[in-house]
Structure 1
Amino acid sequence: STLFSAFSRSTCKCMTSFFIMNNNKKRITLINPQAVNPDAYKKKLEQAIKSYERRLNLIIWRALSQEERDKFKEDGPVQYMQHKEALLGALESLGWPISCEDVILLEDEILAALTYIQQASDLQEAVKKETEKISESHISNNKKSKSKQKGQVFVIHKNQKVIARSDVTGFYYPGTVIKNISSTRALVDFNNGETHTVPMKFTIPVGGAMPCPYLQVGDHVFARTVIRRGNECYVPAIVIATPKRVEMGDKLYTVLTFNNRKEHCVRSRLIKISQTKYAFSCQYIRMVQMVDYMT
C-alpha cells in the first residue's frame, strides 16, 4: 500500500502548484500556473497509468486458472478496465487467489490519475482564459495611459533608491539612480558594485515615504530573497498566507515564488506589484534561463 499511496502523494503535491482554495470567496484561485508544465505533468500521469494498468492486468492474469484464461481467447493479459466484471467474477470463483484490496487500490490509483489529468486540462483552459484577459487588459490600459501621458516625461530623481531588473537574470536588484540617460532610461549603481543602464519601466522606487499597501492571499509581489554567494534580489511571487496573530508578533507572510519555492517574509521585504508585471516578470526569467540552458 506504500507504493500505491506514494503515487497519490506525488500527484497531489504537483497539483498544489496550480491553485489554492479561497475560503472567503469559495472559489479556486490560480496562484502559480508558470510553476508546472501542465503538458509534462499530464504526460507523467499517462505514463503512470500505463504502468499501473500493465501491473494490474498481469497480476490478475497470473492469478487465473488456465480454464478461466481460455474464456477470454487471448494469449496474454487482458485489459482489466475492459473486462472488469468478468475478471472479478473469475477471481471470486477461484476464491480470490490474490488480495482483493490490492486490486481495488490499483484501480483507485488509475482512476485518481485520470481525474488529475482532467483537472490539469481544466486548469490549462482556465490559465489560457486568464492570460487572454490579462493581455486584453494590458492593451486597454496601454492605450489609456498613452492618451493620458502624452507629452509627460517619467523621471526618477538622482540618488533615488530603487530596485531594477537585471537583463542577465531577470531578477530585480537594489541600487541607486546615478542619473537619467533619457526620458526612458536611467543609469543605476547596483549594491553589488555594478553599474548598468536600465529602462525606467523596469525600475521601482523604494525607501523613504513609499506606500505600503495591505496584502492578502492571492496578491502579487516582488519578494526579497538571498541567492547564491549571499546576494539579495527580488523575485516574483504570490502571497499564499498572511500573518494570523499580528498582535502576538507573528508578522510573517508566506509567498510562493516563481520557481515554486515557499518563502516566509516580513512585510518590509515584499513589494506589491500588478498581476501583469508578475506574469511578464516570470516569462522574462524563464526566457533568459532557457537561453542560458541552450548556450
Structure 2
Amino acid sequence: MSLPFIVSQILPLAHFSNKKGITLINPQAVNLDAYKQKLEKAIKSYERRLNLVIWRALSQEERDKFKEDGPVQYMEHKEALLEALENLGWPISYEDVILLEDEILAALTYIQQASDLQEAVKKEIEKNAELHISKNKKVQIGRDKVFVTFKSQKVIARSDITGFYYPGTVTKNISPTCTLVDLSHGETWIVPLKFVIPVGGAMPYTYLQVGDYVFARTGTQTGNCYYVPAIVIATPKSVNVGAKLYTVLMFDNRKEHCVRSGLIKISQTKYAFSCQYIRMVQKVDYTM
C-alpha cells in the first residue's frame, strides 16, 4: 500500500500542496490519531523493505563491517551503507533506495504535521471556549444592566395577588433583578424585572396574526385598566366589527375586541406561565 494511498484514505478532506504540506478543510472531522498510526505502520514497512533490500545486496565482507547478524537500520547507517553499495558498483538501483527513503521521510513529515494540526485544533477549541465564556459574561452583564434602561419607563407589571399586569411607571431600580413601580391606580410595588414589560414611547408595534399570544388590555370602563393573557383569533381584515379591532380569546375563554394599542405581543411560554399563575392564585383565593 503506497503512502499517497494511505494519506488519501485517511485524509479525504485534505488539500495537499506541492511542498507536501497538508491543509485540512475540517480538522475535527478527521481521526488524526488513526492517521498517525497508519503512517507509523507504513514507515515500519518501508524501513523493513529498505533494510532487507540493501542487506541482501551487500557482500559478506561488507556485512561483516557492521557486526550484526541481520539487516541493519538504513536510517542509522545511511552513509556507511551507501558507501558499501557504491563499492560494490550499485548492485541495486540508487533511485530505488532514494525512493524508499523519500517515502519514509514523507511519512515522518506527515506525522509531524498531524501532530501540529492536533495542537492547533486543541488551541482553537480552547480559544473558542474562552470566547464563548467571555461572550456569556458580556451577555450576563448586559442582562444585569437592563434594569437601568427601565428608569422612568412606562411599563406593565405583574401583580403577585391576581397575576394580572397593571400599567405604571418605573421610579427606582432597587437591585439588578427588581424595580419599584408606581402603578396608575396609586399603589407602589416592588416587581421582579422578569415580570415587567416596557410599553409606549417610541417602541414600534409588532405585526399580529391569528394564533399570536398577547397581553390584552381590559377593565378600561371601570378605570381599573389591566392586562391578561389572550390569543388572537381574528385580525381586522378577517372580521367585520370595525376597521381596527382584533378579536382575542381571553385566558378565561371570553372573547373580546381590542384595538392594536391594547395588545402586547408575548411568547407562548409567557402566555402559558401567566395562565398557570392566574389559575394558581385564583385557586388559592377560592380555598381561603
TM-score relative to the length of structure 1:
0.48
Q: Which of these two proteins has the greater Rg computed from alpha carbons?
A: 2
Higher relative contact order (CA 8 A, sep 6+): 1
TM-score relative to the length of structure 2:
0.49
